[in-house]
Structure 1
Amino acid sequence: MTDEKKPLPLDTNSLAVMRTLLANERTFLAWCRTALGLLGFGFVLEKAGLYLKHFVPDANPLMSQDLGMLSLFALFSGMLVLVGAAVRFFSIEKQIGSKLGRMTPFPEVLVLFAVALVLIISVFSGKVIFN
């Protein structure tokens, strides 16, 4: 008995849909990298503001406050980009993926949860260390 796998019947339309789904995943991951960059930049700015406040006591206090505000802007921008990317990805996945019967965005959900977990742990560890 031979256990041969039958090739899937693929026409040009289904191949184009698959390419579109893969492009959607690549775009989602690019937006996730952008969001992680913004989040990392926000943490770096916050850390610079804390170092400035603790190690350079004669520095202008407005500079430390401005760094704090800029870091909050970068953190919230990163979170907004991540949420926007997820909403866009899942809406396109729902529209196109349902045509192929492919509706398992499990890896993308793992990326979202991993980024959220890193963000939550970073915020809580920063509060514990610096307060």
Structure 2
Amino acid sequence: MTPTPEKDPRVYFAAERTFLAWIRTGLGLMGVGFAVARFGLFLRQMRASETHSVVRSSGLSLWSGVAIVFLGVVVLISSVTQHLALIRELSTGSWVPGRVSRNAVILALLLALVGLGMSIYLLVLR
């Protein structure tokens, strides 16, 4: 039996909706990363205005913000390659149903690690 290309346009529309959801996720990560990076600058300015002196910072918010922005970029690039591969598989009839989204699992684990790190940081900072 030869594989047949997918003819139902709803399948392609669903793939496009999934792709757009990944784009929103990547953009959201980039926005949160930018806010995290700038929040450290905001806190430093607030402390400097209270003490009227130069306040040094560890730069943790800057580096963690940059890392989250970079994660958003990785999500966007990964979503493009995954979407193109999926469309190719649907067009050639080689798509296998029931596969786990490796990208979603990896992103969830990375974000869980980021959340764990932030929790530990907040506990230590108390």
TM-score w.r.t. the length of structure 1 is 0.56
CA distance in 2, matches of 1:89, 1:73: 24
Q: Root-mean-square deviation (CA), in Å?
A: 2.0
**1:61-100 equivalent positions in 2, closer than 5 A:** 61-62=57-58, 65-97=59-91
Q: Aligned match of 1:48 in 39, 46, 49?
A: 39
| Identity level (%) | 29
Q: Aligned match of 2:7 in 11, 14, 25?
A: 14
Shift of 1:26: 0.8
Residues 42 and 72, structure 1, Cα contact 8 Å, conserved in 2:
yes
Higher relative contact order (CA 8 A, sep 6+): 2
Q: Aligned match of 1:37 in 11, 28, 35?
A: 28
| Higher Cα radius of gyration | 1
CA distance in 2, matches of 1:74, 1:89: 22
Residues 35 and 78, structure 1, Cα contact 8 Å, conserved in 2:
yes
Q: Name the SS for the 1:56 alignment partner.
A: helix
Tell whether 2:20 aligns with 1:26: no
Shift of 1:23: 1.3
Number of aligned residue pairs: 83
CA distance in 1, matches of 2:47, 2:76: 35
Shift of 1:81: 0.4
Residues 21 and 97, structure 1, Cα contact 8 Å, conserved in 2:
no
Unmatched segments (≥5 aa) in structure 1: 1-12, 100-131
Unmatched segments (≥5 aa) in structure 2: 1-5, 94-126
Q: Name the SS for the 1:61 alignment partner.
A: coil
